[in-house]
Structure 1
């Protein structure tokens, strides 16, 4: 077991060089960046003396729980991708956090983000889930991020619908490649609520094989500059927008024409009234009854 502690920091050659004559307590109080990636760390100890910590690199380790970070109220960047984390918790005090990297863990439900109102980037790609399991995002956490989140990466997580993401109206970069998204109408509806969206990657989803997939998204999201790694040129966008408008206008005219024709036909039939009634009764012989032989 390797635990991240003050002693481990003191023994680190990288940090020892930066002390520059300071005592360890003095150095730890001035520490803003802590680099302990790829060190086989599986637990986080008491680092509360590092009160000015703003960036923490702990990726490519063996950490199973996020813990003992409540002291880091100045933390803005947290890199914990490629660990063994199963649950997002103990982040409530990190209210200045702007970038959170948790890709490549074992997280099945994204929750515990309700207090992170300044979070701008959330990276959750490539979770190592059980067979048949998909990444779920808690609606309350999403709602708390609605005014701040600009970047969301949920690549390769068996996701088949994203309707709950509609509230993220400030999104600029969205990556959901290699999932199971297949409903074109749902995607168009969600993306219509993201007026700031600049870049999007949906490559590797079944929906990409739908007819006019790219054209439909370009005309739906006018701010989009890059789709699935390919730049969108202004001339292409304008052509597609004009084509869509022309198609809708033609469809509207045809519908109006159909409605008008049906109305005239109904009016004509109403004016004609019921047709003549042909009697099939057998004439009587009452007029011959007074004839005498």
Structure 2
């Protein structure tokens, strides 16, 4: 294994002067230092590099973040694909803007609460214990709330995003190949992320849900790209109109159902309005239902026959008497 030392730096930057003073002055001037893929396992003393802004240490064997107290001017730190298990010793990097830690052994995102205003955090594809997911320290999340713009958490077995809702300035979320599957969880964060422009959830179970893309586009008014595909304003407007129409129909159906239930509960109210032809009640049915009894009409013909018989009987009696 190799320890990061001044000799290694001199060798890799190609400084040929044997004068230590010249080399010291050179180190004070450099702003970019590329020591990637050098089989380095320990970060040595780099205190001479006071003006260093960008440090490349990816693809090494580094197990601990250390000896960066001098690096108050660093803005970009590349530590991906090492053996780091803890985010630590970064409090001196007050100007750090972009931190790359993908492909390490980190299980908890922490230790970021004392850094200045970091804008990008790349912590994808951690080597996690079987069945575990990447966790987030609430203190660190709150410290990143107003500054973090880009977050890459891909391939970390993450199954929910609600705790990330505090990241109010997030403009790009990359969370591919995780375990996100609930639309209601996604709606919570989309309501909070009012500056979100790009989001990539490719490879999550939620992407297979019916109308997944339509629902996301309607939910986020600021999103310009979803899963690598541009969202055009015509598409959003069409979906919003469709959603508004669907909501209106649902409310109308609910109102009609409520009215029907009300009439069923209070039959006497059913005919308070003037019924149309279709609504006129069947009085025959109502008569039978309520058993309306009608008195029989007089039998006119029978009555006439009786009167005629009486007249004939009276005439007969009168004739016999005379």
Shift of 1:226: 1.1
* In structure 2, distance between residues paired with 1:15 and 1:119: 32
* Structure 1, gaps ≥5 residues long: 272-293
Q: How does 1:93-172 map to 2 (within 5 A)?
A: 93-172=92-171
Q: For residue 36 of structure 1, what is the aligned residue in structure 2?
A: 35
Q: How does 1:48-59 map to 2 (within 5 A)?
A: 48-59=47-58
Shift of 1:57: 0.4
Q: For residue 4 of structure 1, what is the aligned residue in structure 2?
A: 4
* In structure 2, distance between residues paired with 1:15 and 1:31: 13
Q: For residue 282 of structure 1, what is the aligned residue in structure 2?
A: none
Q: For residue 278 of structure 1, what is the aligned residue in structure 2?
A: none
- TM-score, length of structure 2 as denominator length: 0.79
* In structure 2, distance between residues paired with 1:117 and 1:245: 44
> How big is each residue's C-alpha offset from its partner over 1:165-206, in whole Å with a ceiling of 9 and x where there is no partner?
000111111011101111111111111111111111101111
* In structure 2, distance between residues paired with 1:260 and 1:58: 70
Shift of 1:82: 0.5
* In structure 2, distance between residues paired with 1:267 and 1:70: 80
Q: Determine helix, strand or coil for the equivalent of 2:77.
A: strand
Shift of 1:31: 1.7
* In structure 2, distance between residues paired with 1:252 and 1:18: 81
Q: Determine helix, strand or coil for the equivalent of 2:86.
A: coil
Q: For residue 177 of structure 1, what is the aligned residue in structure 2?
A: 176
Shift of 1:18: 10
* Structure 2, gaps ≥5 residues long: 271-322
Give the aligned CA root-mean-square deviation in angstroms: 2.3
Q: For residue 23 of structure 2, what is the aligned residue in structure 1?
A: 24
Q: How does 1:56-71 map to 2 (within 5 A)?
A: 56-71=55-70
Shift of 1:128: 1.1
- TM-score, length of structure 1 as denominator length: 0.87
* In structure 1, distance between residues paired with 2:116 and 2:194: 20
Change over 3 Å in CA distance of 1:253–1:15 after alignment to 2: farther
Shift of 1:211: 0.6
Change over 3 Å in CA distance of 1:17–1:224 after alignment to 2: farther
Shift of 1:143: 0.8
**Does the aligned pair in 1 maintain the 2:263–2:269 contact within 8 Å?**
no
Larger CA Rg, structure 1 vs 2: 2
**Does the aligned pair in 1 maintain the 2:17–2:23 contact within 8 Å?**
no
**Does the aligned pair in 1 maintain the 2:100–2:122 contact within 8 Å?**
yes
* In structure 2, distance between residues paired with 1:74 and 1:111: 22
Change over 3 Å in CA distance of 1:138–1:268 after alignment to 2: same
Moved more, 189-198 or 258-267: 258-267
Q: How does 1:243-262 map to 2 (within 5 A)?
A: 243-262=242-261
Q: For residue 47 of structure 1, what is the aligned residue in structure 2?
A: 46
Q: Does 1:230 align with 2:229?
A: yes
> How many residue pairs are counted as aligned between the two chains?
272
